[in-house]
Amino acid sequence: MIIKNKFYHTKTIERKANELLTAYYGFEPAKIKLPVAIDKILEIHLNLNVLWENFKDDKILAALVPQEKMVALNEILTSDTGKGRENFTKAHEIGHWILHVDQTNSDANPLPGFSKPYEKICRSSLQDWDEKNADKFASYLLMPEELMRASMKNEKISNWEDIRKMAEKFGVSSTAMRIRLENLNFVYISEEGSFFKSKAEFVGQGTLM
Ligand SMILES: [Zn+2]
């Protein structure tokens, strides 16, 4: 069952991702060894079944079937270089499971506002609020703020190679890492592709010229 396009504060999504990390690791996210153990969280801690499928449609990345506790992943995710996209999609499906599935009432009649049966099919082009929130959850789960801050203590992000190295450390794609770094204000990349230490530095640069 699901509340379609349920509203969540960003801070609530982050808290739920951190709670999952604490529940799995049993200690504060700051002590986690990277990358986050997404396969174990998915299959052992949450006891969800993973099924690899050839969906014949490259736009469909994954699907969640809560009644069967199943996550179906498109085989195209494995053809990419690196595990970044695969890890992010798994974390995204965990996001739906945590944020959008009522796990306490799986056999009961749906409550008002819920629909049943529920199947979530995730397309790369689909961008409703549930999809955006599942993406946010995945970002917080794989790149927790404390660990990002710890990693950035001795790092400087001044080019794409720096981003690629950080992405590899956290097991995500360079695109996902860039978004997280910009959100935490560790870097700002202008439309022209220039690297700045922060958005403020970029804006300041503009006023000087
Ligand atoms: Zn989705």
**Digit-coded pLDDT (tens) for 119-168:** 788 887 767 888 999 999 999 999 999 999 999 998 889 999 999 999 99
Say what the pTM is.
0.88
Would you state the CATH architecture of domain 2-142?
Answer: Orthogonal Bundle (1.10)
Rounded to the nearest angstrom, the distance between the alpha carbon of 60 and the centre of ligand 1 is 10
What distance in angstroms lies between residue 175's CA and the mean position of ligand 1's atoms? 18
**Distances from the Cα of 119 to the Cα of 14, 54, 67, angstroms:** 24, 17, 9
**How much distance in Å is there from the Cα of 93 to the middle of ligand 1?**
6
Q: What confidence tens digit (pLDDT) does each residue in 3-51 have?
A: 457 789 999 999 999 999 999 998 777 779 999 999 999 999 999 999 9
Those residues whose beta carbon sits under 5 angstroms from the ion ligand 1 are 122, 131, 134
Residues 6+ apart with CB under 8 A from 178: 163, 187, 189
Amino acid at 122: C
pLDDT above 80: residue 202: yes
Distance CA 116, CA 127 (A): 22
**CA of 185 relative to ligand 1 center, distance in Å:** 26
Cα(200) to centroid of ligand 1, in Å? 33
Calculate the CA 190 to chain-centre distance: 24
Give residue 56's pLDDT band: very low, low, confident or very high (50, 70, 90).
Answer: confident
Q: Are the CB atoms for 51 and 70 separated by under 8 Å?
A: yes
Domain residue extents for the chain: 2-142, 159-209
pLDDT tens-digit readout, 80-124: 667 999 999 999 999 999 998 877 655 555 555 545 556 788 887
CB-count exposure of residue 201 (10 Å: 0-12, 13-18, 19+): middle
